[in-house]
Amino acid sequence: MRNRFCLRSIAVMWRPALLLMLALPLLASAADADDRQAAIDRLMQPYDGDVPGASLLVLKDGRALVRRGYGRADLERGIAAGTDTNYRLASVSKQFTAAAILLLAQDGALSIDDPVKRWLPSLPAVADAISLRQLLAHTSGVLDYEDLMGASWQGQIRDAGVLALLERENRLYFPPGTTYRYSNSGYALLALVVERASGMDFPAFLHARIFAPLGMRDSLAYVAGGRDVPHRAWGYSQAAQGWERTDQNIYSAVLGDGGIYSSIDDLARWDAAWYDGRLFDDATRALALGRQVPVDTAPEATWYGFGWRIAEGRQWHNGESIGFRNTLVRWPQQHLTVVLLSNRNDPTPYATAQAIGALFLDEIPAARP
C-alpha cells in the first residue's frame, strides 16, 4: 500500500512538470509565430492605414500561413484591400502568356521552335530567324514598342498595335539568340501567336485553359468594354499633395506583357498547379522553369526561364506598371511561396517578399543547389 501511495504521490507531484514539458514546444512555437507576425506587421506597415495597400499571401505545403490585406484598394471609396482584391499583375502576367504558348506546344498545336513568322507573317524580313523560344526567353532582339510610339501617341496601344509598329522596323537590337534583353514587345507578339494558333482571342484562351480549370474565378486579361474586374484595386502614385490615381497609361491595354488581373487567393491556385499535372506535364514544367538564358541585371544575377526568373532554389517574377508593384516568389524545394501585390507606384516589393520568406525559411532545411 505504501509503495502504491508513494507512486501515486510522485505521479501527482510530477504531473504539472510533465504537462509543462509537453507544452514547451507548443509554447515556443506560439511565441515564434507571434514574433514572426510582429516582424511581418513591421515590414508591411507602409501599406497599412488610409493609403494604397497590398495583399499578402504566404503558402507552405499548400496551406496559407499568412493571408490578408493591408490599406486600401480604392482610396476614393475607402474600400479595404483584401484577399480577393484583384490587382493588375503587370509583368507577373508574362508567366501566364508563356504558359499559354507551352500549353499549345503540349497540345501539338505549335512548337516553341517555330519561326515567329509562321504565325505572324507580316513581320519584316529581319524577323526571319526569330523563334518562339527566343521570344519566350527574351533573346529575340525585337525592338521595344514603348520606344517606337513617340510622344504624340494618342489613346492606348494594344497587342495588335505592337505588331503594327514592328512591321515597319526592319532592324533588331542584336542577332536573334545571341544575348538577353528583356522585351515587352516579345510577349505582346506571343499573345498574338496564342490567338493565331488556338483560334481564340487571348483572354478567352486564358480563361478556358488556365483560369477556369484551376478555379481562378476572378482572374482575367482585362479589355476595356469587356468583363469588369471584380474586386478591383485601383493604381496610385505618390504626388506632392498625397496619392493620386494613376491606374492606366498608354501601355496598359497590351495584354501579353502585363494585362492580367488576379488576386492572392487565385494565385494560390496558380502556385499549386506547378507542383502537379493538372495543367502541365513534366517536360513542360521543365521548360518553363529551366535555366534558358543567364540574366546579369538588377535586382540580382539570375537565369530566365519562360516567364520566370530562376535563382538558386528560388523562382520569381516582379511586375511593375503605372500604379502597381507586385512580386511572386517561390522556394519550390521547401514548398514555400510568398505573393505580395500592391496598388502603388513604389516600392517594388521583391525585397519585402524575400524578407517575409526568410522568416519562414528559418524552420526549413536550407535549399540545396
Which neighbouring-strand residues pair with 173? none
- Model confidence at 132, pLDDT cuts 50, 70, 90, reads very high
pLDDT at 1 over 90: no
**259-287: average pLDDT:** 97
Residue of 297, 234, 227, 279 whose CA lies nearest to 96: 279
Which sign, positive or negative, has the C-alpha torsion 62, 68, 74, 77? positive
Least-confidence region, from 27-31, 89-93, 232-236, 300-304: 27-31
Structural domain spans, the chain = 49-361
Q: Is the pTM of this model over 0.85?
A: yes
pLDDT at 240 over 80: yes
Query: pLDDT at position 15, please?
Result: 41
pLDDT at 19 over 90: no
pLDDT at 10 over 50: no
Stronger pLDDT, 173 or 154, i.e. the higher one = 173
Q: What is the Cβ-side half-sphere exposure of residue 242, based on CA atoms within 13 angstroms?
A: 6
Q: Is 327 helix (H, G, I), strand (E, B) or coil?
A: strand
**Model pLDDT for residues 28-58, shown as the tens digit of each residue:** 455 578 899 999 999 999 999 999 999 999 9
Q: Name residues whose C-beta falls within 8 Å of residue 264's C-beta, 6 or more positions apart in sequence.
A: 55, 56, 57, 67, 83, 85, 339, 341
Query: pLDDT at position 22, please?
Result: 41
DSSP for 331-360? EGGGTEEEEEEESBSS--THHHHHHHHHHH
pLDDT at 18 over 70: no
- Model confidence at 26, pLDDT cuts 50, 70, 90, reads very low
Active site residues: 91
Query: pLDDT at position 362, please?
Result: 66
Residue of 352, 264, 327 whose CA lies nearest to 39: 352
- Model confidence at 150, pLDDT cuts 50, 70, 90, reads confident
86: phi then psi, degrees, rounded to nearest 5: -100, 125
Query: pLDDT at position 368, please?
Result: 36
Least-confidence region, from 250-254, 277-281, 294-298: 294-298
**101-130: average pLDDT:** 98
Q: What topology does CATH give the domain 49-361? A: Beta-lactamase (3.40.710)
**Model pLDDT for residues 156-184, shown as the tens digit of each residue:** 999 999 999 999 999 999 999 999 999 99
Query: pLDDT at position 297, please?
Result: 72
- Model confidence at 21, pLDDT cuts 50, 70, 90, reads very low
- Model confidence at 363, pLDDT cuts 50, 70, 90, reads low
Query: pLDDT at position 366, please?
Result: 39
Average pLDDT of every residue of the chain: 90
Q: Where are the beta strands (DSSP E) in the chain?
A: 54-60, 63-70, 72-74, 79-80, 87-88, 220-221, 236-239, 242-245, 260-262, 293-297, 300-304, 309-311, 314-321, 324-331, 336-342
- Model confidence at 151, pLDDT cuts 50, 70, 90, reads confident
CB < 8 Å & 24+ apart, contacts of 351-354:
351/299, 352/43, 352/44, 353/327, 353/329, 354/329
Least-confidence region, from 1-15, 132-146, 168-182: 1-15
Query: pLDDT at position 348, please?
Result: 92
pLDDT at 249 over 50: yes
